[in-house]
Structure 1
């Protein structure tokens, strides 16, 4: 009887905690998803205002518009998730505070730390969802969108030129067409281990064959040895020994598209051609790894709304200050990341300072409110 009564008492004391955890988690998740839907909807409308005319000019019709919206959705979701977590948390905690739910829970013994610890698990779940979006879903959807957009382009020769590195070669491609199956004029610069130029190759075009290899057409070459330049005989066609599929060339042609962690590691190790600097890749890996932590910081920034005075009610400016602080945190992280991309800061300094500064600042505000 003693052990069974102890089990009953333990179950009674444990159940309310689980009920409160489920309630807060479900409420926050719903608020964040609603905010995500609103923000993504607004961004999709703005994107369609810009892209509707080109899509209709290519005679892609309503199906093309729907395809564009669907392929763009994962990227927009991953970008709006931090804003949705911030706004959703502020809305939920403000509603709970104004409806006296917070006061009731505090009277029952729940502290600010207790609120945070019960909201942290669902925030981590949202953070890992964001990592999956950034690392697996968004890169594939953006690549599919870029391939479709390139394949339906009636004037690919007006497309964007791009550079990339492949082992000891630097390659310049004037444009890509037919979903990456055909390339415009290609220039290849070969270097030795010390980085000195050893040869150049110019091809009028390049074509990907169904069998796999690339074929360069109308080839002219120069050889550089001991500061002496020698023109080699021109050739109609030669094989280009590069293992890149057409879709990867479309990815290289895009302006900083989202890429997976696997591809980042491959580019860092030199196993895949790259048009990104090592600093950009390292900072991107760290940012992706710490994405759940950044959402926890946004959750912490929203916690001061629990201290809205009862008499102030909806006239309080505290939610506005918390929203501004959260937006400032996101902007600051972006500025640090931009400096890291430019090589002005090491990768760790491009990711960690914002997290530390805003965590300490918010903790000081919470401790001050606790002592008042």
Structure 2
């Protein structure tokens, strides 16, 4: 028990220092990029609020990289003080040392999961609403950067403007279809308002493909309309998505703007992300070999760092391909973790041989 506690304390200390350093650097670069716009929109308080709301996303995205660099620094420190040599002399191989550091990786995984799945979706939504609505009256539809197209059950919906709470829409195109996908009617509405009784379409034109003349109505109930929360999230999407939204999208439930491949890949990628810290630790382990004054130790650390960065790049590219439907979701999410884990195992086996 003494060895795991000792290694965990050193490893977590280096990892926390690296994580805070990386986040501070990225926060500084981000604030320098946004400072003029933030000062025009508000004051120094707004800069602090912006940085605070961005913090959980940055922390969650950098945990795996911090584990990689923290592990390399930990192993180089242990090699530099000959503690690795002493442990190996006592019969403790690399696998025992690696196993002693796994509890720290479990903590890193828990932190990453909490940030990316629970905290970041809320802070990103709060940031988007605050940023877009700082000078907008409550309930006023805001023109979207691009027209929103979504599927709501059998309906196809297009929206040009939406309020921050998703309860007021403008420029609505609604196509109702049957179970086989044939259009039943097309509705062009100037406004839509969500109240206690649900959606009401205002100032609309209704056209049916049976050849009858268009109908012009002042108001029409839209009972099947998507929830205001779904409109809010789809009109101004954030990078971090809560787990329930991903699950609903994968099942095709509710309003969605993406195909099944996107949500299936995202779900697989979330699961694969949970093993990323373990892969990083495995890639960093060979840096523990070598004596303090030998250049091979630093070379091993450099190779581990390059492999870890390569893993992040390749994984991101494969996930993007999967979300676009160009690659099966399981392959897109799991190829990089499994391949780089195998590379780490082979390197470690070579060092132990």
Moved more, 194-203 or 313-322: 313-322
Task: Give the distance between the partners of 1:318 and 1:132, measured in 2 at CA.
Answer: 32
What per-residue deviation string (whole Å, max 9, x for no partner) do you get for residues 251-304 of structure 1? 102345321222222222233211122112112212222323221111100011
Task: Give the distance between the partners of 1:157 and 1:286, measured in 2 at CA.
Answer: 34
CA contact (8 A) 1:152 1:178 kept: no
Distance 1:138 1:172, change over 3 A: same
CA contact (8 A) 1:252 1:274 kept: yes
SS of residue in 2 equivalent to 1:276: coil
SS of residue in 1 equivalent to 2:336: helix
Q: Which residue of 2 aligns with 1:321?
A: 303
Q: Which residue of 1 aligns with 2:327?
A: 345
2:123 to 141, 162, 165: 141
Q: How does 1:87-166 map to 2 (within 5 A)?
A: 87-154=69-136, 156-157=142-143, 159-166=145-152
Task: Give the distance between the partners of 2:339 and 2:19, measured in 1 at CA.
Answer: 27
Q: Which residue of 2 aligns with 1:223?
A: 208
Aligned-residue offset at 1:114: 0.8
Moved more, 143-152 or 69-78: 143-152
SS of residue in 1 equivalent to 2:59: helix
2:276 to 281, 294, 315: 294
Tell me the number of residue pairs that the alignment of Structure 1 and Structure 2 aligns.
349
Quick check: 1:38 aligned with 2:24?
A: no
Distance 1:167 1:95, change over 3 A: same
Please, what TM-score do these two structures have when normalized by structure 1? 0.87
CA contact (8 A) 1:186 1:204 kept: yes
2:12 to 20, 26, 29: 29
Which stretches in structure 1 are left out of the alignment for 5+ residues?
Answer: 1-17
SS of residue in 2 equivalent to 1:329: helix
Quick check: 1:356 aligned with 2:342?
A: no
What per-residue deviation string (whole Å, max 9, x for no partner) do you get for residues 323-344 of structure 1? 0000001111111111111112
Distance 1:98 1:122, change over 3 A: same
Task: Give the distance between the partners of 1:315 and 1:331, measured in 2 at CA.
Answer: 25
Task: Give the distance between the partners of 2:222 and 2:146, measured in 1 at CA.
Answer: 22
Q: How does 1:184-203 map to 2 (within 5 A)?
A: 184-203=170-189
CA contact (8 A) 2:207 2:215 kept: no
CA contact (8 A) 1:188 1:201 kept: yes
Aligned-residue offset at 1:243: 5.8
SS of residue in 2 equivalent to 1:224: coil
Task: Give the distance between the partners of 1:242 and 1:37, measured in 2 at CA.
Answer: 47
Please, what TM-score do these two structures have when normalized by structure 2? 0.91
SS of residue in 2 equivalent to 1:89: helix
Aligned-residue offset at 1:158: 5.8
Distance 1:314 1:356, change over 3 A: closer
SS of residue in 2 equivalent to 1:208: strand
CA contact (8 A) 1:186 1:206 kept: yes
Q: How does 1:232-247 map to 2 (within 5 A)?
A: 232-242=214-224, 244-247=226-229
RMSD: 2.2
Find the structure with the greater CA-based Rg.
1
Task: Give the distance between the partners of 1:23 and 1:280, measured in 2 at CA.
Answer: 43
Distance 1:85 1:153, change over 3 A: farther
Aligned-residue offset at 1:50: 2.9
Task: Give the distance between the partners of 1:54 and 1:215, measured in 2 at CA.
Answer: 37
Quick check: 1:180 aligned with 2:166?
A: yes
Distance 1:270 1:356, change over 3 A: closer
Q: Which residue of 2 aligns with 1:64?
A: 46
CA contact (8 A) 1:136 1:260 kept: yes
